[in-house]
Amino acid sequence: MKHFLDIHTTSLADLRKIIDTGRIIKEARAGKPKGALDQDTPLKDHVVALIFEKPSTRTRVSFDVGVRQMGGSTMVLSGADMQLGHGETIADTAQVLSRYVDLIMMRTFEEDTLLEMAEHATVPVINGLTNRTHPCQIMADILTFEEHNGPIKGKKVVWSGDGNNVFASFAHAAKQFEFDLVFTGPPPLDPEASLDGLYTTVRDPHEAVDGADLVVTDTWVSMHDPQSARERRHNQLRGYQVNRALMDSAKPDALFMHCLPAHRDDEATSEVMDGPNSVIFDEAENRLHAQKAVMKWCLES
């Protein structure tokens, strides 16, 4: 069973195959209507369950559209629909769903929920996000970087802000794809200890981005954070905003990425987000192509 659960649990050869397939899929769709079927329809007569314990815009739309473009159909299920682990066990849910659908994408809170689903499912399971990692996003990010600036191997990537789940997947990718990753942010928001050794820390953001090929940030607050936490995070992270002055410290052709949604003029200024170095909307589009490549890979024997 080929699950796509995390970048560090997938071989470099398979990761590279997914990235290369995503690029081919994107190129093959050039000029076609957005609703048109792909020439290759590996999901024809297949049903994909899209499970959302956490709400989403990009993940939901990109997976739903991707399945349809590859000839399949989707069943979208929310946490309220399923109440995972509160009534029927996750293991039983996994086995029942496996009798109905051909593939499961799950966007959930706890990593253990995803892992238990994958352990008991008899169809492939894809990590659409957990509190710990977000591998599909980073696959799209690498696809985006390489279509603009060539191979990411040996390049310098700088993360400014909170060492969150998206950063964790960047750290896993840094080891697999062999690029240098720098974290710049306040000590209270350092990445989890399990990621030690996969990146370096530079507290001064301008020093951190010196020579950077890519500067990345993410929202400072979650939709689930209380107001007190929002205010505290703003105070902690204000010095790590990605603005024009910070981008000027990077290489002239350095790219700027943000996985969205963004709070404009908080973690990044609109000047940067809409500026010549920004590839945020290419990055968002490439979620579609990278995830289609992930699904295709999962179903290959």
What is the set of active-site residues? 107, 134, 137, 218, 259, 287
As a whole number of angstroms, the distance between CA 113 and CA 110 comes to 6
**What dihedral do alpha carbons 69, 74, 78, 79 form, nearest 10°?**
-110
Mapped onto helix, strand or coil, the DSSP state of residue 194 is: helix
Q: Give the CA distances from residue 123 to residues 140, 224, 227, 260, 264, in Å, rounded to whole numbers and listed in that order.
A: 23, 31, 41, 30, 40
Neighbouring C-alpha atoms within 13 Å toward the C-beta of 168:
18
Strand-pair partners of 264: 268
Is 222 in contact with 189 (CB distance < 8 Å)? no
Continuous H helices in the chain: 12-28, 58-69, 79-82, 90-100, 111-120, 135-149, 165-177, 205-209, 227-237, 244-247, 270-273, 280-299
Confirm if 125 and 104 have CB atoms less than 8 A apart.
yes
C-alpha 275: how far from its chain's center? 22
Residue 37 per-residue DSSP state: P
263 in Cβ contact with 218 (< 8 Å): no
Here the tokens at position 30 are 């050039």
Contact 270, 263 (CB under 8 A): no
* Tally of CB atoms within 10 A around 8: 17
